[in-house]
Chain A
Amino acid sequence: MNKLWFIAALGAFAAAPAFAANTITIGMTVSKTGPLNVDSVSQLRGAELWRDEVNAKGGIKVGAKRYTVRFVEYDDQSQGGRVQQLYTRLILEDHSQFLLSPYSSGLTATAAVISEQYGKIMMDGGGAEGKIFKLGNKYLFQVLSAADQYLSGPIAELKEHDPHAKVAFVYSDDPFSKAVVTAARKQAEEAGFTVALDESYPPSTTDFTAVINKVISSGADAFLGGGHYPDGATLARQLHDQKADLKWVTILVAPDSEKFKTLGAAADGITVPSQWEPQVKYTPDFGPTVAQFTKMFDAKFKSDPDYHAATGYAEGLLLQHALEEAGSIDRDKVAQKLNAMDVTTFFGRDRFATGAPDHGLQLAHDMVLAQWQRKGGELVKEMVWPDAAATAKVIYPIH
């Protein structure tokens, strides 16, 4: 009997390294607690869906071998300090071969310092701020559109309806929102708009009454701004409660969530720039189609995917494609394939900047604009821009 156990143990021992050798470890932190929780968990779900799909098909085919994907993730509590510690741990102790970014520009910037220090490829699915890519990197790849794109759609749409609009920029004092508005300010001025108000608020602001009175005083027709989730929803509600009755309201991030419609009448007409919506019409070169992705996500999580989930899935998908093309898990070969990539997936077109000043910045991905509209008494999120992809006509003015 003893001999049998001994042989079995030997067998397990022999098998284990063989198993480990055919696994790719991907490390990341997720904001399971803290204010970034909602969007971060959404991004994780997208990534997990990709991992489960890939593993169900036997793993990623790299050269002659098949590799199972294994995630190692920790809770960064929405804090930069934790991101720093945990990415170091992911690399040194968990031996992650590749990394996925946390959610939000602030945390991604911190993670990028660590990933570059140790020379690991990191796919950025959560950090839109362009500045992260101006610091010089070799292995960072941004899957989603950069922050300066967020308001170009709303501004273009607004210009069609009111070329001399008076706009109010009211935005959160965080790296992402500031980057969005810095670019939007220039775009608004180029479009011929008057900037009637331009103010940032502390991210912890809970009451926007006085700010909205200021917007009303400025005589603005259009409101562009917000930040992340809680402040965006509060702004929408208070704009409604105070009867600001603006002709156009674009708020960042918050209105993309399904929960936004619980605001009821306050959500009517609000537009949100989005990285992806289930109604987009891309034809993928590889991977699932838009409909297939939406259906898979729905089946697993019982709700429609938002753009964070789509970005999470896309991060994994693009990495997988690079690994398959490279035929090796060697970092530099994979990076070479990522640098050369110009593909379309269900998420849209992706091509990374390869030059020194902004390596890794996303150059080809387009944003869309969604608007909450009332259809038969129900609030529905429709895609209204770009025109070629629109599922409904934009409503203007919304009041």
Chain B
Amino acid sequence: MFGLLASILDGVLIGAVYGLAAMGITLIWGVMDVVNLTHGAMIVAGMFGTYLLASAAGVPVYATLPLILIGGFFAGVVLYWTAVHRVIGQPPLMSLLSTFAVNLVLVGVGTAVWGTDLFNVPASLPGFSLGRYTFPGTHIMAAVLTAAIAAALYLFLYRTRTGKAVRAVSGNREAAELVGIPTARVLALSFGLGTTLACVAGMLIATMFPFTVLSGDAYQLKSFVVTVLGGLGNPTGALVAGIALGLLEGVTTPFVPVSWTLVIEFVLFVVVLIALPGGLMRLWQRR
């Protein structure tokens, strides 16, 4: 049953990248209660950044990662101060609308500049084969880099002072202010982290699939599903849920017509929400 094994393994690989994308949303949501609807646009920004650096400037594809990381962070901080800072603490609808508006602007500008042409980043690495099935090297590399970044994020949040500050602000902003944490700066930092995760996810996706200016929407939707499945504000949960979703897609596709995969995904999503409103990670925490 190599076909099934191949699908499962590949599902896990791609699922890891979904998880990375979702980590961006869950971090922002958890720390500042903001639903970041520019997430899709930031994923696309990562894709285009990679394309421009790799194809136009000739940078080797995987060497663009640090540049995307830095660029994404700065973009996030700028975005925070322009669109998000004023609506923190306001009703959630305001931040939703604010980020939605920015998303429209970004996608609109992108469409004006690039149309909805398809772009492709020519990345290829030797993969390995299992019988007739091949695991492209790019998928494996994407999963490895995701694991590395997730580990780095964990170390940052749990082993550094700044990370502690982020967790403090996420727990109780007023109390954090009272003990002298510069919350506005921490929020900007967290937002920057969230968008950089989205940009890096975009970069990894660009190494695997062709993309257009509009590609962000589909990944944003998946990110939200994964975020809720993993538990709001829980980056580890997001990664686990992403892998679980990828696994689910891999397991169901060989057995049912492809058009049913989404249906099954969302039915299970609803079931999990009813049984475990706090997300899949609640199962882990109950142990």
Contacts and interface: CB of A to CB of B under 8 A. Distances in A.
A35 B10 contact: no
A201 B263 CA distance: 12
For chain A, the bracket of interface size reads 35 or more
A213 B116 contact: no
B117 A243 contact: no
Interface in B90-106: none
A201 B249 CA distance: 13
A204 interface: yes
Interface residues of B, number: 43
> Which residue, B3, B120, B134, has most C-beta atoms of chain A within 10 A?
B120
Contacts of A199: 257-259
A217 interface: yes
A361 to B, nearest CB: 28
Contacts of A254: 118
Given A37-B115, A259-B118, A241 B3 contact: no
A237 B210 contact: yes
Interface stretch (B169-177, B214-222, B229-237): B214-222
Contacts of A117: none
A234 interface: yes
Contacts of B119: 262
B71 interface: no
Nearest to A198: B257
Nearest to B249: A210
A169 B254 CA distance: 15
Interface string B1-36: 001001100110010000000000000000000000
A173 B7 CA distance: 22
Given A38-B117, A238-B209, A262-B120, A213 B111 contact: no
A263 B120 contact: yes
A34 B258 contact: no
B118 A217 contact: no
A201 B257 CA distance: 8
Contact of A202 (B115, B138, B249, B262): B262
Contacts of B127: 241
A213 B120 contact: no
Given A210-B249, A234-B210, A243-B134, A264 B259 contact: no
- Majority-rule SS of A interface residues: helix
Given A37-B111, A210-B10, A210-B254, A234 B116 contact: no
A216 B136 contact: no
Given A214-B3, A237-B210, A230 B118 contact: yes
A213 B130 CA distance: 12
B257 A213 contact: no
Interface in B79-138: 108, 111, 115-120, 122, 124, 127, 129, 132-134, 136, 138
Interface in A145-182: 170, 173
B15 to A, nearest CB: 10
Contacts of A41: 115
A207 interface: yes
A233 B118 contact: yes
B124 A35 contact: no
B183 interface: no
Contacts of B254: 210, 213-214, 217
Interface string A239-274: 001110000000000100101001110000000000
B58 to A, nearest CB: 15
B138 A241 contact: yes
Interface in B237-271: 249-250, 253-254, 257-259, 261-262
Contacts of A33: 108, 111, 116
B116 A233 contact: no
Interface in B266-286: none
Given A233-B120, A241-B136, A213 B210 contact: no
A225 to B, nearest CB: 11
A2 interface: no
Nearest first, the 9 closest Cβ-Cβ pairs linking A and B are A210-B253, A37-B116, A217-B3, A241-B136, A243-B134, A201-B258, A199-B258, A233-B210, A233-B118
Given A210-B250, A241-B138, A259-B117, 8 more contacts: A38-B115, A38-B116, A38-B117, A207-B209, A210-B11, A210-B249, A237-B209, A237-B210
12 contacts: A204-B218, A206-B219, A207-B209, A209-B7, A211-B258, A214-B3, A217-B254, A237-B120, A241-B138, A241-B208, A242-B134, A259-B118
